[in-house]
């Protein structure tokens, strides 16, 4: 099956994340990079600034994030690139809830969100399916 970021968090306890740590990771994946203050602004019912800084230290120790110094501030970013984490999460989702079936997952997504899709969304999806069919994926 290959390496899975999310499965590795389950198999290796040092990789597991608390609810707040997951919220921080979500912010970093959405933004790409952020300071502690920027992260604090994005967390629902935020803890104190010092609590966020402490969690950032823990996430660095767990090797989930790293920091760069910019203008005398630390800017945090995920260690695993967003695209790799995305693929890992989707693979985990497919295997866990859809028995590895992309068809079942797409059917569920369409069932849940088809009314929110515009005509051009359906056209793009059809084009992606046709492209995958041609590529033999």
For 30, how many CA atoms within 13 A lie in the half-sphere containing its CB?
10
- How confident is the model at residue 11, as a pLDDT? 42
What pLDDT is attached to residue 1? Answer: 44
The whole-angstrom separation of Cα 82 and Cα 35 is 18
115/30 Cα distance (integer angstroms): 25
The Cα 86–Cα 95 span in angstroms is 14
- pLDDT digit string (tens) for 46-103? 999 999 999 999 999 989 999 999 999 999 999 988 888 888 888 988 999 999 999 9
């Amino acid at each position: 099956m290959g390496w899975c970021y999310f499965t590795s968090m389950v198999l290796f306890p040092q990789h597991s994340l608390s609810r707040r740590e997951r919220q921080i990771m979500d912010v970093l994946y959405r933004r790409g990079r952020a300071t502690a203050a920027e992260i604090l602004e994005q967390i629902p019912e935020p803890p104190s600034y010092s609590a966020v800084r402490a969690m950032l230290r823990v996430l660095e120790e767990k090797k989930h994030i790293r920091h760069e110094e910019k203008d005398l501030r630390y800017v945090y970013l995920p260690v695993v690139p967003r695209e790799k984490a995305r693929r890992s999460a989707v693979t985990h989702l497919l295997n866990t809830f859809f028995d590895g079936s992309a068809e079942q997952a797409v059917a569920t997504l369409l069932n849940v969100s088809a009314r929110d899709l515009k005509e051009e969304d359906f056209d793009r999806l059809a084009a992606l399916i046709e492209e995958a069919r041609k590529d033999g994926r």
